[in-house]
A and B are shown apart, each in its own frame.
Chain A
Amino acid sequence: MSLDYENDGALHAKLIEEVLSQYPDKAAKRRKKHLSVAKSEDEAGEEGEVLSECDVKSNIKSIPGVMTIRGCAYAGSKGVVWGPVKDMVHISHGPVGCGQYSWSQRRNYYVGTTGIDTFGTMQFTSDFQEKDIVFGGDKKLEQIIDEIEGLFPLNNGITVQSECPIGLIGDDTEAVSRNKAKEHGKTIVPVRCEGFRGVSQSLGHHIANDSIRDWVFEKKDVEFEAGPYDVNVIGDYNIGGDAWASRILLEEIGLRVVGNWSGDATLAEIERAPKAKLNLIHCYRSMNYICRHMEEKYGIAWMEYNFFGPSQIEDSLRKIAKHFGPEIEEKTEKVITKYRPLVDAVIAKYRPRLEGNTVMLYVGGLRPRHVITAYEDLGMVIVGTGYEFAHNDDYQRTGHYVRNGTLIYDDVTGYELEKFIEGVRPNLVGSGIKEKYPVQKMGIPFRQMHSWDYSGPYHGYDGFAIFARDVDLAINNPVWGLYDAPWKESPRRGRAMAAE
């Protein structure tokens, strides 16, 4: 089902040159390393055909004053890795803002009695005041933990998500956590994810992974009978129910998902993870660390997979099945056959409406490559993509997905993204809430690719149908044709520059 196309590399190179010319010299020199055009790569990689090479620098400090779209380590830990663990209370430790702005915003779906045995869509904060900065917040943290135990006794653990001031004033959240864990007989995890650490959300993921290793694993006797087909799903945050639409497939091919990290997860699912046979990792960027650790320490193999769009789903299911042998492989083929009519019907319905439409993406650390084939399954063309917080290994993997001539932008700035979109005039942009409204003002359809624009799931076969519907409703809505007042001569829109 894969498409064969090349992008207009010359136009993209020109756009890069144009945006760089607008920066002060020092900034231009730094930004240059983050922008490129994907080049053809002849040699085939180990895991299949490499389509191109994306040669940009990444995981480097953002430049001040340019409007980076990135967040911080706290966002990576509380917002991404720990926040979705539903039966624990996550304290945003420090001033009120961080917890307030991230409250209920990532759509990590779960089932539970919120406020009683589940705490996902709540905001627990130590609401630091000046006196806490001056005298330290450890005493306050102790009291907070006690108050949580009194008011929310069914919590199965607590995490302390440090905000910027904690690391600066020298609080010892580790000591508080250790003492209080002993006193209450609960898991209490201090996470040093102060926002100034690292250059983006990414270090927060890493720190959060490490805190699981150091404060959760091997801390309790885990009574659990492991089976031969036990897997953990790692790095699925259940945005709009993604993990559920994935789980249903994995169960259908005969596997037992003993833990899902961390969407809809309980602490128990994390504690017993080392007993599984295989770690299936979806968001490589945010959770590869713990997979590597489990491999080294417990000998659990890990495997990347991709459940966006039927081409990738089929590939991934077969790859996973191969790991477990003929019995699972046979079931897998049946599952693929079972869903084929749905896939065919969805593509028959939407591909004619979307064929040839161009897409620009800018998302976090996985989706800028992972979703590409799903668009291509619908006949769409990816003309540009980039990551907020990818590392070099992500860009290497991106080469397996993007075509020659694709515009690549790392840690893009507001200015660059606007100019690139203006210059390319794609038919759809997929990015985040901060990018949504500027793009729509320009008359270009947009879908949020962090939150699925309040839709989803997009994973799995059930998700692909929703994805196709959403892309279609974004692009083919009549509102885009109403932008020009009929009594005004209309400036020509569409892919003006690309056509030149």
Chain B
Amino acid sequence: MPQSAEKILDHAPLFREPEYRQMLAEKKLNFECPHPDQIVTDQREFTKTWEYREMNLAREALVVNPAKACQPLGAVFAAAGFERTMSFVHGSQGCVAYYRSHLSRHFKEPASAVSSSMTEDAAVFGGLKNMVDGLANTYQLYDPKMIAVSTTCMAEVIGDDLHSFIENAKDENSVPRDFDVPFAHTPAFVGSHVDGYDGMVKGILEHFWKGQERTEAAGTVNIIPGFDGFCVGNNRELKRLLDLMGVSYTFIQDASDQFDTPSDGEYRMYDGGTKIEDVKKALNAEATLSLQHYNTRKTLEYCEQVGQATASFHYPLGVQATDEFLMELSAISGKEIPETIRLERGRLIDAMADSQSWLHGKKYAIYGDPDFVHAMARFVMETGGEPTHCLATNGTSAWEAEMKELLASSPFGKDAQVWPGKDLWAMRSLLFTEPVDLLIGNSYGKYLERDTGTPLIRLMFPIFDRHHHHRFALMGYQGGLRVLTTILDKIFDKLDRETSETGVTDYSYDLTR
């Protein structure tokens, strides 16, 4: 009997005990009707070949292990970045349970959102009644300052019109006439979560800015961060930099406090976020900067329409991307980049110089959202690494072109390949046929790490199986240090593991590296 009260074994050790091993072996043999071992081995080996890769990459319809989510997730994340805002997702209710779970599993934090809980009758007659009742209930129970409405694909397929539904609900006094209910249609069958983010931020800006007079306040900037699982660390770091520069800025959408509430005995359903008053005033900003271009294409278009200058970045991470971001800020705000920031920059460069021998020539596979992949590839090249595979399931042809331009700008990008629209099962083939030293992505990459032996570095949403990484910034020079250290730790840990066999590799297991 493997179990004892003194030393309680949970699943990880328990099922490796002989009793269980034998039981499982017999189960397989007697009841599972498995394929013969040889056939399984042969197929496994076949999946490592170029021949399988070609079949795999030729797929047209099937998607396996994609690295993207659907629009409403982005909308719910976006809404969480505004003061006392409740997300209200119109359509089937199971979706909302999924968004909430997904966000909670990553942030290890509460994630609130409500559904209009449409069922079969609503599929036939439309969901107006659900909207009318739902808004009334949400307003009364959860005391929000704003309710941000988005849609599941069910509501989109049957064609519910949010604008008229919300008007109807106001007519029926579900919420006061002047209560803010911005909305965005977020069909799951178009784009991905980054587009849902875009749609919701644009919806909120339109709601507050439409028909308002704009009086430009020179030198002020709006910052839109984009869908970012590291918002907690990143937004705070960027604010520190902006404060150091003395820039007058407004974050439009900031979930850094919402997804990082303290434990002190009080559950805060709402915390932080862009104040509604600030959203209104943000119309007057001279410029709006997006930290993630592919998260804000429509929003920035709208900002231009109201007369603002705009600029977008690809997740300002690493040296040059941070340089560009700060210089742009400086140009718009007229504020100089202070010496303290230059020293910070120097410290990152110092760290990179100290470690360059361990990073030079390392090959990477990078996947994730389009802006993140761009940023990582760029930083990897700054360290002398080669971004061999750059993959974004939600990457467009415009992203592909931009990536190719980036890669062409450095000798370290010479052999790199860009994979827009591909999934992680495709990545598996890429890693087998053209192996790399390190894989950069999110928790889903652990299956690739297991199959191909490529060490995984988790730097993108969602990270379910490691805790608290998102609390630390990746952006800016400080963030660069964090990324650099994370990569180096992975390299050193691997080297130590590979040289730790006593009697075989007593050499190479160096104390100083």
Listed in ascending order, the chain A residues whose CB lies under 8 Å from chain B are 22-24, 26-27, 61-75, 87, 94-98, 100-103, 105, 109, 111, 113-117, 121-130, 132-133, 140, 143-144, 147-148, 150-151, 153-154, 156, 163-165, 167-169, 195-199, 201, 240-241, 244-245, 247-248, 251, 257-259, 264, 266, 268-269, 338-339, 342, 345-346, 348-349, 413-415, 418, 432-434, 436-443, 455-457, 461-462, 465-466, 468-469, 479, 483-485, 491, 493
Contacts and interface: CB of A to CB of B under 8 A. Distances in A.
A126 B61 contact: yes
Interface centre among B2, B6, B98 (most CB of A within 10 A): B98
Interface in B422-445: 425, 428, 444
Contacts of A123: 64-66
B52 to A, nearest CB: 8
Nearest to A450: B101
Nearest to B104: A433
Contacts of A201: 94
A66 B187 contact: no
Interface string B3-17: 111101111001100
B55 interface: yes
Interface stretch (B114-122, B205-213, B353-361, B476-484): B114-122
A96 B97 contact: no
Contact of A64 (B97, B104, B130, B444): B130
B69 A63 contact: no
Given A63-B137, A100-B66, A109 B5 contact: no
Nearest to A164: B154
Contacts of A165: 153-154, 157, 189
A130 B31 contact: no
Nearest to B20: A244
Contacts of A101: 69, 73, 98-99, 101-102
Interface stretch (B221-229, B258-266, B381-389): B258-266
A323 to B, nearest CB: 21
Interface stretch (B37-45, B294-302, B307-315, B401-409): B37-45
B23 interface: yes
Interface residues of B, number: 108
Interface in B371-429: 425, 428
B35 A97 contact: no
Given A103-B444, A462-B14, A111 B24 contact: yes
Contact of A72 (B60, B95, B101, B265): B95
Contacts of A251: 23
B97 A70 contact: yes
Interface string B60-104: 111111101110110000000000000010011111011111101
A105 B6 CA distance: 31
Given A154-B35, A493-B265, A67 B4 contact: no
B1 interface: yes
Contact of A437 (B23, B39, B93, B108): B108
B138 interface: yes
B110 interface: yes
B188 interface: yes
Contact of A196 (B59, B70, B120): B120
A462 B2 contact: yes
Contacts of A125: 63-64, 66
A61 B117 CA distance: 8
B159 to A, nearest CB: 10
B32 interface: yes
A124 B62 contact: yes
Nearest to A199: B119
B264 A248 contact: no
A248 B24 CA distance: 10
Given A95-B153, A115-B428, A266-B32, A418 B267 contact: yes
Contacts of B444: 103
Contact of A483 (B35, B102, B263): B263
List of 7 A-B pairs having minimum Cβ-Cβ separation, nearest first: A72-B94, A65-B134, A64-B134, A97-B70, A101-B98, A345-B5, A95-B188
A22 B189 contact: no
B451 interface: yes
A434 B104 contact: yes
A346 B94 contact: no
B290 interface: no
B192 A96 contact: yes
Contacts of A346: 5, 8
Contacts of A121: 447
A188 B133 CA distance: 41
B94 to A, nearest CB: 2
B131 interface: yes
Contacts of A129: 189-190
21 contacts: A63-B137, A65-B135, A72-B92, A75-B98, A87-B34, A96-B192, A97-B188, A100-B102, A113-B40, A128-B188, A140-B61, A144-B62, A151-B52, A195-B93, A196-B119, A240-B10, A345-B6, A441-B110, A456-B10, A465-B4, A469-B10
Contacts of B157: 133, 164-165, 168-169
Contacts of A98: 94-95, 98
A129 B421 CA distance: 13
A96 B94 contact: no
Given A22-B140, A75-B98, 16 more contacts: A24-B140, A27-B133, A64-B115, A64-B131, A65-B141, A103-B444, A105-B101, A122-B64, A122-B447, A126-B63, A163-B153, A165-B153, A195-B92, A196-B92, A268-B33, A457-B11
A465 B3 contact: yes
Contacts of B152: 164, 195
B489 interface: no
B64 A124 contact: yes
A123 to B, nearest CB: 5
B5 A465 contact: yes
Interface string B248-278: 0000000000000111111111000000000
A493 B265 CA distance: 8
B117 A63 contact: yes
A130 B59 CA distance: 19
Contacts of B101: 101, 105, 432-434
Nearest to B56: A151
B122 A196 contact: yes
A442 B134 contact: no
A485 B262 CA distance: 12
B112 A67 contact: yes
B158 interface: yes
A485 B264 contact: yes
Given A103-B444, A111-B24, A462-B14, A434 B1 contact: no
Contact of B8 (A23, A140, A150, A469): A469
Given A442-B265, A442-B267, A95 B70 contact: yes
Contact of B141 (A66, A133, A247, A264): A66
Nearest to B92: A195
B23 A248 contact: yes
Contacts of A74: 94
